[in-house]
Amino acid sequence: MIRLLTLLVAMVFGASAVSAQTAQPATVQFVGTITGSAAETLMVRGSDGVISPWTGPLPDFPYMTGDQVTVSFTAKPGQATTSTDGIYRYTIIGQSQTGSSSGTGFALMSGPDISGPITPSGMNQSTSGLVLVYDSNTGSYAIDIPTGSYAINSFGSPSFTYDPDTGTMTSRPLSPMECDGHFYTCATLLGGWDNATLRNIPVQAPDGGIMGWFSLNFSGSWFVNGQQVGGNSVPEPGQLVLFALALVAFGWAWQRRLARQPALASA
C-alpha cells in the first residue's frame, strides 16, 4: 500500500512538472488600426515657451490615421510555478530586466517590433503589466493584463525637426540605434485590452533640443500564435473576403429587384 501511495504521489507531481515544461515560446501580437497620428497629436513649443497643438503643414509621415499596424514579440516561458489546475502564468519581462527578475514564473520577451520603420531600443527593453497564460490541459495560450494596463520600453521612431527661427517642420528619419543611451529620444508603448499608444515621440530642434512631442494611437486586438485572445473583433482575411462577396451579391440582387419594379407596377 505504501508503495502504491508513493507511486500515485510521484505520478501527480511528475505530471505537474512535465506540464510545466511543455510551455513553448509564443508569438504575441497586438493587431490594430491607427486612430491618431502626428497630424492629430503633435504638440510644439513656441518661441514664448508655451506648448500648443501644431497647426501648420506637415511633411509626409509613414504612419497615418486608418493604417493598420502590428505590435509583436516572442514570449519564451521559463520555469513555471506549481499549478494544481494545469494553468500556468508567466509574467513577461524584457531583456534589460533579466538581472533583477530571475526565478520561476517569468517569460522573456524577445524581438519586440512595431510594423514599419519604428524600431526597438537595443539597450532598454523592458515591460510591465503583461502575463502569458498557458493552459496545459488544452495546450492553448492567452494574454492577461491584470491591472488593465501595460507598458513596453523603448522604441525609436521617425519624427520631425522643428526650426523655431523659421517656423518650419521637416521630416527626420530614424537613425540606427538612435535612442540607445539617449532615453529622451525614445518612446514608450502603453495600452490595455483594446488600445495602445506609442507616447511622446520627440520632435527635435536643429541643435538636438526637444521642441515637442506627438503620439501614435491604436485600436485593436490581442493574438497569441495567431488566435485572437482579447480586444476588438478583428475578422480573419478569409472572413473579410466572404463578407465582400456577400455585399456584391446583395447589391446585385437589390438592383434586379429595382429593375423589376416598373414592370410589376405596369402589370
Please report which helix (H) or strand (E) contains residue 62, including its range. Answer: none
Mean pLDDT along residues 64-79: 94
Strand partners, 213: 43, 202
- Residue 191: other Cβ atoms inside 10 A: 27
Percent of the chain at pLDDT > 90 equals 54
Contact 97, 112 (CB under 8 A): no
Contact 214, 185 (CB under 8 A): no
Residue 178: which pLDDT band, with cuts at 50, 70 and 90? low
Q: In the numeric block, which cell numbers belong to residue 250?
A: 446583395
Q: Which of the pair, 112 or 5, is modelled with greater confidence? A: 112
DSSP annotation of 63: -
Contact 92, 125 (CB under 8 A): no
User: Do the strands 131-135 and 140-144 form a parallel or antiparallel pair, or are they unpaired?
Assistant: antiparallel
Mean pLDDT along residues 52-71: 94
Strand partners, 188: 199
pTM of the full structure: 0.76
For the chain, the farthest-separated pair of C-alpha atoms sits apart, in whole angstroms, at: 95
Question: Which amino acid, residue 216?
Answer: L
Q: Of 152-156, 180-184, 213-217, 261-265, which one has max mean pLDDT?
A: 213-217
Q: In the numeric block, which cell numbers belong to residue 258?
A: 429595382
Which among 202, 200, 204 is positioned nearest to 163, based on CA atoms?
A: 204
Contact 191, 114 (CB under 8 A): no
DSSP annotation of 164: T
Among the residue ranges 15-29, 31-45, 182-196, 234-248, the one predicted with the least confidence is 234-248
Cα–Cα distance for residue pair 93/54, rounded to 1 Å: 36
Contact 201, 172 (CB under 8 A): no
Cα–Cα distance for residue pair 182/160, rounded to 1 Å: 17
pLDDT at 237: 44
Strands, E assignment, the chain: 26-36, 43-45, 51-53, 68-77, 87-93, 106-114, 119-120, 126-128, 131-135, 140-144, 150-156, 159-163, 168-172, 187-191, 195-204, 210-224, 227-231
User: Do the strands 106-114 and 87-93 form a parallel or antiparallel pair, or are they unpaired?
Assistant: parallel
With a cut of 70, say whether residue 206 has pLDDT above it.
yes
Cα–Cα distance for residue pair 237/247, rounded to 1 Å: 16
